[in-house]
Amino acid sequence: MGNEETRAQGVTDFGYQSVPLAEKKARVREVFDSVADRYDLMNDLMSLGLHRLWKQFALAHTGLRAGNRALDIAAGSGDLSIGLARQVGPTGLVLSTDINARMLARGRDRVLDAGQVATVRLAVADAEQLPFRSRQFNCVTIGFGLRNVTDKAAALASMYRVLKPGGRALVLEFSKLVLEPLEPLYDFYSFNVLPRLGQLVLDDAASYRYLAESIRKHPGQEALKALMEQQGFERCRYHNLSGGIVALHIGYRL
């Protein structure tokens, strides 16, 4: 059953489960409330540190300059927000947002530790209904958050709305593996190793089982590119990272 069909029936995916549309945000919030305290440690463990390289690659494509304004959605513990702040400098501004207040508190602590408190402002915000004026950001980023959004098209449309003409959106997200011979190994890692790591580190296997399932339910590279184009983005393209385990999608408001 396709995503549009399930939404028409009033349900959506939560990993491999179908849940009422109204429940997904609360279910996702529970997942991130559970993992917040050791979120960064688990990122390092489950990606073998590669998430840092993926984020650096994304930051190299922001096009930001000193004095610009950037918005980081689903900012989590703030890796991208801190990188954006270094790019725009003390004369610029970064708004670091997340729907989950506990994750945002982790981000606040890391922004303070990084010495970027003068540049970064934090706010609880829903990606589907961004509470910001239209056409005010030079760059909007969302890193590993779009797959958790209930209405991805609405989130992308909201991102497009707040971009300045000439600005760009960056979507860094788990995607579809393009190296088919590695799929059995990747599946074993996703559905066996990740939940066990979650159990060992956080006493929470379920959240990381959801992570693996949500990756499989997320649109692939071409489907996400098409979805961005449907929301008005132009010159859309993507870069496969680590054989497509992750992809960076870029779209412009011209």
Positive or negative CA dihedral for 232, 28, 12, 45? positive
Expressed as residue numbers, the domain containing 97 is 26-178+210-252
Specify the CATH number for the domain of residue 129: 3.40.50.150
8-46 pLDDT per residue, tens: 679 999 999 999 998 999 999 999 999 998 999 999 999
What total of structural domains would you count in the chain? 1
Using CA atoms in the order 127, 194, 33, 206, what is the torsion angle rounded to 10 degrees? Answer: 110
Angstrom CA distances, 231 to 160, 161, 228, stand at 7, 9, 5
Of the candidates 123, 133, 119, the one whose C-alpha atom is nearest the C-alpha of residue 88 is 119
Q: Is residue 64 part of a domain?
A: yes
Q: What is the pLDDT of residues 117-126, one digit of tens each?
A: 999 999 999 9
* Residue 200 included in any domain: no
Whether the CB-CB separation of 108 and 123 falls below 8 Å is answered with no
pLDDT band at 1 (very low <50, low <70, confident <90, very high): very low
Average pLDDT score over the chain: 95
18 found inside a domain: no
Kindly give, in sequence order, each residue whose CB lies less than 8 Å from that of residue 51, ignoring residues fewer than 6 positions away.
43, 44, 79, 144
Residue 167: what pLDDT? 98
Can you list the alpha helix ranges (DSSP code H) found in the chain?
A: 3-8, 21-35, 39-47, 50-59, 79-88, 101-113, 152-162, 183-188, 194-202, 205-217, 221-230
- Residues 206-213 have a mean pLDDT of 95
Give CA–CA dist 154/85, Å, rounded: 26
